[in-house]
Amino acid sequence: MTTTDLIMKSIENLILYGIEINISDEDSNEYLFQMQGYFNKKAEDLIATFDIDTLFIQSIDGEEVCNIFIKDGIMRIMPSSSAHTFNVIVLMLEFITTSNHLFETNNLEEAEEDSDDDFDWI
């Protein structure tokens, strides 16, 4: 398998199965809203618009590139046949790697609150 084949298979799996980001449904809209700001700051040829629970990505020319949404803690991307799709995937992965820690604190606090062990404080 060549490197190109491996990359294409990885992108195919990303589209089919999404990325598990372990974010609660309550935090998913905030996460997408922050992703919108990241896209609009980093990408010169793309415009991100957040509406209800989906992030819409378009090119400067108005061409629809993709939609990104989170369902059940899994981030999904619905790409079009745009040439900008690969750039969106790269930016999406950059955002996930740099921003996933934003919501980890909430998950840790919830896990500690749910603990029934009386000796946690020792």
pLDDT, tens digit, for every residue of 52-69?
A: 899 999 999 999 999 999
At 105 the pLDDT is 47
Q: Is 96 exposed, middle or buried (0-12, 13-18, 19+ CB in 10 A)?
A: middle
pLDDT tens digit sequence for 5-15:
888 898 899 88
List, in order of start, the domains of the chain with CATH numbers. Answer: 15-100 (3.30.310)
What does the pLDDT read at residue 24? 85
Whole-model pTM: value is 0.77
Instruction: Please state, in angstroms and rounded to a whole number, the distance separating the CA atoms of residues 80 and 87.
Output: 13
CA dihedral 96, 101, 107, 112 (to 10 degrees): 150
DSSP 8-state code for residue 44:
S
Residue 3: in which H helix or E strand, if any?
helix 3-17
